[in-house]
Amino acid sequence: MSTDTEEIRKLAAIMFTDMAGYSALSQRDDKLALQLLEEHRRLLREIFPRFHGTEIKTIGDAFLVEFQSALEAAQCAIAIQRTLAHRNTDAPPDRRIEVKIGIHIGDVVHRSGDVYGDGVNIASRIEPLAGAGGICVSMDVERQIRNAVETHFEKLAPTELKNISVPMDLFRIVLPWEAPARAGKLESRSSKSVIGEKDRSFPIRTLALIGILVVIAIALGWWWTTRPNKHVASAAPQASQSQSIPEKSIAVLPFENLSSDKENAYFADGIQDEILTRLAKIADLKVISRTSTQHYKSAPDNLPEIAKQLGVAHILEGSVQKSGDAVRVNVQLIKAATDAHLWADTFDRKLTDIFSVESEVAKAIADQLRVHITGQEEQVIAAKPTDNPEAYDAYLRGLAYSLRTTNTPANALGTQKYLKEAVRLDPKFALAWALLSYTDAIGYITLNLQPTVALREETQQAAETALTLQPNLGEAVLAKGQYYYSCLKDYDTAVRYFEQAHQFLPNSSRIPESLAYVARRRGQWDQSESYFNEAERLDPRNVNLLTQRALSYIDLRRFPEALRKLDQVLNITPDDMDTLMTKAVIAQAEGDLPRASAILAPLHPPADDTTAVETQAYQAILQRRPAAAISRLKEILAKPDPALGFYNGEIRFFLGWAQEVGGEHAAAQESWRQARSELEPFLKEQPENWALIGDLALTSMGLGDKTAAFAFVEKALAAVPIEKDALVGPFLIEILARVAAQMGEPDRAIAALQKLLSVPYAGSLGLGTPLTPALLRLDPMFDPLRNDPRFQKLAAEQTAK
C-alpha cells in the first residue's frame, strides 16, 4: 500500500496544453476570458478519458495530463485540436479557443499527487513551439507513432530547450484541416518531404502534364533497359548494390588476443564489444552488431566480401595484449572496397585507464568517417562505467559468457556469476546491473535459470538499480522492458520501454528482436515477422536471431522456410549441433523418421544440453526402439547436474516414457515415482513454471493418478492462458490432450487436438514443434485414440502450411 510520500517511477507519455492568447484576453476582457477558460476546460476534460488520459493538474489555462502510451497521447491531442477547430468554425476571432500542445515520453516520478522528471520538463518546453492550434512532439514520440496515425510530420530545426542540456529533434504534427497557406509554410520548413503528402490542390492541367511526362519517362526507361548494351546491363546491379551500402557504416571484427595467457581471450572480446557498443550509440553511423561479426577471423583476407555480407563500407580490426595491469590495444580502420588503411593507432594503458582507449577509438572513427555526434552521444561515448578495475574485469568475464552463441543454462549461470561479482565490487556499476537484469530476465523466460520468485525479484531490482544510477542508460531501459516482458508478461509496458530504449541504442538489433518476441507472444505473427526483418537488417549474421526466425516458421508449421533459415545458420556456423537438432525435429514433424535419424545419429550432445538429449530420446520413442535412449538417459541421471534444477526430473520422465514404450512397465513406474519426488520440491519456489507443472502432469499421468494429472493440467492452463501467451499457451492444451488420451477421456483429447492443429505454437517435447498429423500417427502417447474415427481423420490430414 503506497503512502502520499512514496515515490513511484514509471515510463509515461506527458502532454502539456496551454490556451493561446489567454493572458492578453484577460487584460482586455476578463469576464469573456473566464467564460472561454471554463468552456475550454469542459471540452478537454470530456476528451482526456477517451484516450485513458489522467489529468495530473491544472495550472491556470494549462493542463498536465499523463498517458500510458505515446500513441494515446497523440490521438488525444489530435482529437482536441479537431474538436476546437470545429468549434471555432463559426466563432468570431475574439471568441475562438486555440491551444498549444506538447508531448514527450520518458521517465517520470509520482510523488505527493504530482509528477516530476525529464518527461514532464521536456513536454513543458516543447508545448510553446507548437503554435496556436498545433501539436509538437519529441523524436521519441514521433518514432513510436509515425506508422500509427493518419497524418504526417514536419521536422523542426534542432532546438535548444530551456534547462535541457542537449538540442532536441522535434516534430510538428501536420493536421489535415489546417489552412493550405499555413500548411504550405510548414512544408517549406520541413527537413523531410514525402511525395504525395504535400498540398494536393494542383490544377487539373498540371496533373495532366505530369501524367504525360511520367508516361514518357516510363517509355524512355523501358527503351534504356531493353536496348542491347551488355556493358551497361551488367554494370547496373553493381551500381545499385554499392548505393545500398551507406558510407557511414562499420563492422568491428573480433580482436585478436596476443596475450601469452590465452585465458585472456575474454578481455580481448570485451574490449572489442565495448568499442562497438560506443560506436553503436551514434545515430548517424550504421554499426553491425557483434553477434553478426563474431564468427569471422580477427584479420581475414577477404575483407571486401565480408563487408558485402555485412552491408558496410568500413571494417575495424584490432588486437589486445594484456600482461598484469598493462594493456596494449592496436586498431586499424579499413575502407573495405579498396582495402585502404584510413587510420591506425596503438594505445598503451594501465587497466585503470582502459576506458579512455575505448572512447578515443570511437571518437577517432567518427572523425575519420565524418560522422555527426550530438552532445549527448559524446557524453555517452566518453562515459566511464566504473572506477574499479576488478569490477570491470568481472564484468568483461560475464559479458564473454553472455556473448556465446548457444543460450544454455551453463552460459546463463556463468554470466550471472561474474556480473554479481562485478556489482558486489562496485555497487554503482550501472552497466553491470543492467546486463545482470537482462540475463536474469532471459533466463527466467527461457527457463535456463530456475524461474523462481527470487529470480524475478532480482531481475526487477537490478533493472531499477541501473535506471536509478543512470536514467538515460539504454541498456538499463532495455533491461527494464525485458523484465516486464519475461517476468510479468506485461506486454504494453515492455513495448514502451523497448521503444524508449531505441533513442539510446539506435543501432541495436535487440530492440526490434525484442518487439518480435512480444508480437509472437501476442499471436501477431505477421507483425513479429516484420520486426524480425528489421532486426536482421541490423544484424544479418546473428545466428541466434536467425534461429529464432526459423523457430517462428516451425511454430507456424512453415517447415520449408524454417529449413532455409537453418541453412543460413549452418553457412555461418557449419555443423552447429543445435541447428542440426532443429532440422531433425522438422523431419520428425513431417513424419520422416529415417531423415531425422540420419541427422541425429552422429551427434553426441553433452548431458547439460537437455533440449538435445530430449530430442534424441523422443526420436527413439517415435521409432519405438528405445533401448539406446534408455541407456543414455540412465548414464546422465547417474550423475545429475545440480545446476539443471527441475530439468533432472524432466529427463527422468523421459526415461520412464522410453521404458514404458520398451515394455519395461515396472521400471517405468519406478522412474516416474522418482521423477515426481524430484519435481515437486521445485514447485513452491517456481509456482509459475509452466514446464515444471506440465512435467508433473505427465508424470502423474504415467503413474495413473488421474486426479493429480488433471489438477496439474488446470494449474498449467491457469498459469499461462492462451489469451496471454499465444506461443506457449497452446502447448499446455497439448499436455491436456496427452493426459486425456491416456486417462480414458477421448472426447476431451479430440477437442483439444482439433484446436491445436488449427493454431501455431511452440511445442516442448524434444526441441519442440507443434503437433502435426504426422506426429499424431507416430507418437505412442496417442495410441488409445487410434480406433476413434475422429482421431483417424485428424491424423490423416496433411500438415498445415
Distance CA 362, CA 356 (A): 10
Distance CA 327, CA 352 (A): 10
> 19 vs 24, 31, 49, 133, 170, CA distance in Å?
11, 16, 20, 9, 21
Q: Where are the beta strands (DSSP E) in 293-404?
A: 314-323, 326-335, 340-350
Q: Are 547 and 570 in contact (CB under 8 A)?
A: no
Q: Are 286 and 507 in contact (CB under 8 A)?
A: yes
Residue 424's closest CA among 443, 447, 398?
398
User: Which DSSP helix (H) or strand (E) runs through 433?
Assistant: helix 430-446
Report CA torsion sign: 438, 439, 440, 446. Answer: positive
182's grid cell: 499555413
> 417 vs 216, 511, 539, CA distance in Å?
68, 25, 28
Q: Are 397 and 418 in contact (CB under 8 A)?
A: yes
> 301 vs 293, 323, 341, 627, CA distance in Å?
15, 28, 14, 49
Distance, CA of 729 to chain centre: 20
Burial class (CB in 10 A: 0-12, 13-18, 19+), 3: exposed
Distance CA 584, CA 597 (A): 7
453's grid cell: 520468485
11's grid cell: 515510463
User: Which DSSP helix (H) or strand (E) runs through 588?
Assistant: helix 577-589
Distance CA 85, CA 97 (A): 9
What residues are paired with 172 via a beta bridge?
Answer: 136, 154
Q: Are 267 and 259 in contact (CB under 8 A)?
A: yes
Distance CA 113, CA 687 (A): 36
Q: Are 539 and 289 in contact (CB under 8 A)?
A: yes
**Contacts for 613 with CB less than 8 Å, ≥ 6 apart:** 605, 607, 632, 633, 636, 651, 654
> 547 vs 520, 537, 553, 554, CA distance in Å?
15, 15, 10, 10
Q: Are 80 and 102 in contact (CB under 8 A)?
A: no
User: Distance between terminal CA atoms of the chain?
Assistant: 51
Burial class (CB in 10 A: 0-12, 13-18, 19+), 627: exposed
User: Which DSSP helix (H) or strand (E) runs through 477?
Assistant: helix 474-486
Dump pLDDT digits (tens) for 382-407: 888 898 989 988 998 998 888 776 67
Distance CA 179, CA 202 (A): 15
Distance CA 169, CA 185 (A): 19
Distance CA 118, CA 127 (A): 14
At 215 the pLDDT is: 42
Q: Are 702 and 653 in contact (CB under 8 A)?
A: yes
Q: Which residue has the cell 565480408?
A: 306
Residue 16's closest CA among 115, 110, 160?
115
Our CA angle for 135, 141, 147, nearest 5°, is: 95
Our CA angle for 777, 780, 784, nearest 5°, is: 85
510's grid cell: 535487440
Residue 408's closest CA among 108, 156, 259, 610?
610
Q: Taking the CB of residue 151, how many other CB atoms lie within 10 A of it?
A: 14
Q: Taking the CB of residue 458, how many other CB atoms lie within 10 A of it?
A: 20
Query: Helix, strand, or coil here: 735?
Result: helix
At 28 the pLDDT is: 82
- Domains of the chain in start order, with CATH, are 8-178 (3.30.70.1230), 246-384 (3.40.50.10070), 576-581+589-796 (1.25.40)
H-helix segments, 641-745? 647-661, 665-683, 690-702, 706-719, 729-742
Distance CA 53, CA 449 (A): 39
> 517 vs 213, 513, 522, 664, 726, CA distance in Å?
47, 6, 9, 42, 11
Q: Are 289 and 280 in contact (CB under 8 A)?
A: yes
At 681 the pLDDT is: 95
At 166 the pLDDT is: 54
Residue 392's closest CA among 346, 357, 443?
357
At 692 the pLDDT is: 95
Q: Which residue has the cell 562485478?
A: 422
Number of helices (H), then strands (E), belonging to the chain: the values are 35, 14
Q: What is this structure's pTM?
A: 0.66
Q: Are 291 and 543 in contact (CB under 8 A)?
A: yes
Q: What SS3 string covers 751-774?
A: HHHHHHCCCCCCCCCCCCCCCCHH
Low-confidence ranges of the chain (pLDDT < 70): 1-6, 147, 150, 158-167, 178-243, 405-406, 764-767, 798-801
Dump pLDDT digits (tens) for 608-649: 888 889 999 999 999 999 999 999 999 999 999 888 899 999
Burial class (CB in 10 A: 0-12, 13-18, 19+), 48: buried
Burial class (CB in 10 A: 0-12, 13-18, 19+), 446: middle
Q: Are 548 and 513 in contact (CB under 8 A)?
A: yes
Distance CA 479, CA 180 (A): 45
Query: What's at 542, amino acid-wise?
Result: N
Maximum CA pair distance of the chain? 97
676's grid cell: 515426481
Distance CA 113, CA 259 (A): 58
Q: Are 263 and 325 in contact (CB under 8 A)?
A: no
Q: Where are the beta strands (DSSP E) in 467-607?
A: none
Residue 429's closest CA among 488, 460, 478, 470?
470
Q: Are 603 and 577 in contact (CB under 8 A)?
A: yes
H-helix segments, 16-101? 22-28, 30-47, 70-88
Q: Are 481 and 498 in contact (CB under 8 A)?
A: yes
Distance CA 371, CA 37 (A): 49
> 435 vs 104, 430, 466, 557, 776, CA distance in Å?
27, 9, 9, 34, 42
